[in-house]
Chain A
Amino acid sequence: MTALTDAPTTRVRLTVGTQAALITLLVGAICLALEPVAPWLVKWPAAWVLPATDWVGSILTTVLTTMKPVARGFSALMAYPMDWANFVLNGTPWPLVIGIVTAVGWYLGGLPMAALGFLGLSFVLASGYWSESMNTLALVAVSVPLALLVGGAIGVLANEFPRIKNALQAVLDIMQTVPTFAYLTPLLLLFGFGPVVGLIASAIYAAPPMARNVLLGLERVESEVKEAAVMAGGTRLQQLFQVEIPSASTQIMVGVNQCLMAALSMVIIAAVIGGFNDIGWEVLLTMRKAQFGEALIAGMVIVVFAMVIDRMSGALATERKRYDTRVVWGLLGFAVIFTVAFWTRLPVPSDLTLLDPVSDALDNGLTEFTRSNGAALDAFKNNAMFYVLLPLRIGLDQAVLPFTWGFAWTTNMSLGLFLAGAAIGAVLAWRGNVTGGLMVLIGFGMLETGISNLPWPFVLTGAAALGWVAGGPRLAIMAAGLLSTILISGLWDRALLSLYLSGAAVFACAVVGGLIGLLSAISPLAWKIVRPICDMLQTIPLFVFLIPVLMVFQIGEFSAFLAICAYAIVPMIRYTRHGLVNTPEEMMEAAIASGATQFQIMRDVKAPYAAPTILLGLNQTILYAFAMLVIAALIGTTGLGQSIYLALGKADIGLGISAGAAMAILALVADRLVQGFAEERRKALGL
Chain B
Amino acid sequence: MTDANTPAIACQDLWQVFGPGAEKALTDALARSGNDADAASKILRETGYVPAVQDANFDVKEGELFVIMGLSGSGKSTLIRCISQLLDGTGGQIRIHGEDIMTASKQRLIELRRKKLGMVFQHFGLFPHMTVLDNVAYPLRVQGVSRKERLKKAAEVIELVGLEGREDRYPRELSGGQRQRVGIARSLVADCEVWFLDEPFSALDPLIRRQLQDEFLEIQAKLKTTIVFITHDINEALKLADRIAIMRDGKIVQIGTPTDIVLNPVDDYVREFSKDVAKGQHARVASVMHQGTEGVGPDDPGLRTDMTLDAALAHCMELYEPVPVRDKEGNLVGMVNPADLAAALQVEEA
Contact = CB atoms under 8 A, between A and B. Distances in A.
Interface stretch (B134-142, B212-220, B263-271, B313-321): B134-142
B222 interface: no
B209 interface: no
B123 A232 contact: no
B121 A232 contact: no
Interface string A498-534: 0000000000000000000000000000000000000
A225 B125 contact: yes
Given A238-B142, A242-B141, A247-B129, A233 B111 contact: yes
Given A233-B143, A233-B190, A227 B125 contact: yes
Contacts of A249: 129
Contacts of B141: 242
B124 interface: yes
B142 A222 contact: no
Interface in B126-152: 126-130, 138-139, 141-143
Contact of B110 (A225, A227, A228, A233): A233
B126 A225 contact: yes
Contact of B138 (A227, A232, A235, A247): A232
A224 B125 contact: yes
A601 B113 CA distance: 57
Which interface residue of A224, A231, A234, A249 has the most chain B CB atoms within 10 A? A231
A275 interface: no
B84 interface: yes
Given A224-B121, A227-B86, A228-B119, A233 B127 contact: no
Contacts of A242: 138, 141-142
Contacts of B121: 224, 227-228
Given A232-B139, A233-B190, A222 B113 contact: no
Interface residues of A, number: 18
Interface in B177-223: 183, 186-187, 190, 196
A243 B138 CA distance: 10
Contacts of B187: 231
A282 B336 CA distance: 102
A246 interface: yes
Contacts of B130: 246
B128 A247 contact: yes
A230 interface: yes
Contacts of B86: 227, 230-231
B96 to A, nearest CB: 14
Nearest to B135: A228
B324 interface: no
A233 B125 CA distance: 15
Nearest to A228: B125
A568 B332 CA distance: 91
B180 to A, nearest CB: 12
B61 interface: no
Contact of A228 (B81, B111, B127): B127
A177 B280 CA distance: 70
Interface string B86-111: 10000000000000000000000011
Contact of B119 (A225, A231, A234, A243): A231
Interface string A233-258: 11100100011001101000000000
Interface in A192-241: 222, 224-225, 227-235, 238
B125 A222 contact: yes
Interface in B31-80: none
Given A228-B183, A232-B186, 19 more contacts: A224-B121, A224-B123, A224-B124, A225-B126, A227-B119, A227-B121, A228-B119, A231-B117, A231-B118, A231-B196, A232-B114, A232-B142, A233-B139, A234-B142, A235-B142, A238-B142, A242-B138, A247-B127, A249-B129
14 contacts: A224-B125, A227-B121, A230-B113, A232-B113, A232-B114, A233-B110, A233-B111, A233-B113, A233-B114, A233-B115, A233-B142, A233-B190, A243-B127, A246-B127
Interface of A: 222, 224-225, 227-235, 238, 242-243, 246-247, 249
Closest CB pairs A-B (n = 3): A233-B114, A224-B125, A228-B125
